Amino acid sequence: MQKNIEFIDKLRSSGLRPTKQRLKICEVLFNREETFHFTIKDLVKKISDNLNEKISLATVYNTVHAFKDKGYLKEISINSDKSYFDTNITNHHHFFDEDTNQLIDCEDDYIENINIKKNITGKKINSVEVLIKVASDNQNQN
Amino acid sequence: MQKNIEFIDKLRSSGLRPTKQRLKICEVLFNREETFHFTIKDLVKKISDNLNEKISLATVYNTVHAFKDKGYLKEISINSDKSYFDTNITNHHHFFDEDTNQLIDCEDDYIENINIKKNITGKKINSVEVLIKVASDNQNQN
DNA sequence: CAACAGTTTAGAATAATTATAATTTAGTTT
DNA sequence: AAACTAAATTATAATTATTCTAAACTGTTG
Ligand SMILES: [Mn+2]
Ligand SMILES: [Mn+2]
Ligand SMILES: [Zn+2]
Ligand SMILES: [Zn+2]
């Protein structure tokens, strides 16, 4: 449970002005125990749930991209028409529940270390991410 | 190098009428040695390069989705605003070259087997895909 | 050939995202 | 504290990928 003053420092230290919109978004994103995986739409909903005054959609996009650029958020690849973002910025893998469209972190002890034995010549590896698509186990699924 | 008659059989056998648009798209997609990774835009370009008469954009979308539904194409998850498709429908991993935005198949001998040690309860695993993002190796990159 | 379902098509509609340009605000300088 | 300036917010327009619609066209079957 971070204090407002901590968010102000965090923003200032990366050259972002601590506006009230950014602070509110910090609260929503980072004042939580668990990792938050979200789309812009999810975030807008959380904001309007927690807030009497509204933040413009453009500002939500601007802020999420600024936070991503500063390394406070990660963008996640899902086969979908929209972007997902992740408050867990470490290198990690995901389950994607195709029933609920939910992203879930894959803990390190769920998967053996990935070993890339060969790489493309002249290129360096920036990330290695596993996406495990799961769905309901029962026979009669739609 | 498949013959037109083979595509006609292929389409008929999955309940798709062999129209001239579908046959042309089959040629572009499947008359090649190498796997083809493409976006709809890429495919439209290939079609107009190879063809004097044009195929409507709606038909290209319809056909790609029909081929995907029949299992002749695979849709690939890339962090992007557009979908990629793949003529390699086997279970396999990818390199994504962030310099060129190109998808490249990761041969089996490039990566050790992925072992998912635990799964989410009540769910079955539908796919496990690794995405290796690579980029230029040199220091002075923009 | 006639009939009919399947397919193609232009164009409209939708949805996510980005751009624009005017207004407001945060931080700095007088 | 008032003035100044660059950064940020905002409503709104623009863009892009994709899907929908409904009319015209075509492949298949009898
Ligand atoms: Mn899609
Ligand atoms: Mn994006
Ligand atoms: Zn995550
Ligand atoms: Zn592939």
Task: Tell me the per-residue pLDDT of A72-82, one tens digit each, with 9 for 90 and over.
Answer: 999 998 877 89
The minimum CA-CA distance between A75 and chain B, rounded to whole Å, is: 8
Please tell me the CATH code under which domain A2-84 is placed.
Answer: 1.10.10.10
Residues with CB under 5 A from ligand 3 (ion): A 86, 88, 105
| Chain A residue closest in CA terms to B77 | A79
Strand partners, B37: B86
Q: What is the mean pLDDT of the segment spanning A105-133?
A: 93
Q: Do the chains contact at B134 and A120, CB–CB below 8 Å?
A: yes
Q: What's the whole-number average pLDDT of chain B?
A: 92
Question: Rounded CA gap, A87 and A32, in Å?
Answer: 10
Nearest residue, CA→C1' of C11: B58
Looking at the CA of B106, name the nearest ligand.
4
pTM here is 0.90
Which pLDDT band, with edges at 50, 70 and 90, does B51 fall under?
confident
Nearest nucleotide (C1') to alpha carbon of A39: C16
Listed residue (A71, A73, A63, A70) closest to A24, CA to CA: A63
Which pLDDT band, with edges at 50, 70 and 90, does B132 fall under?
very high
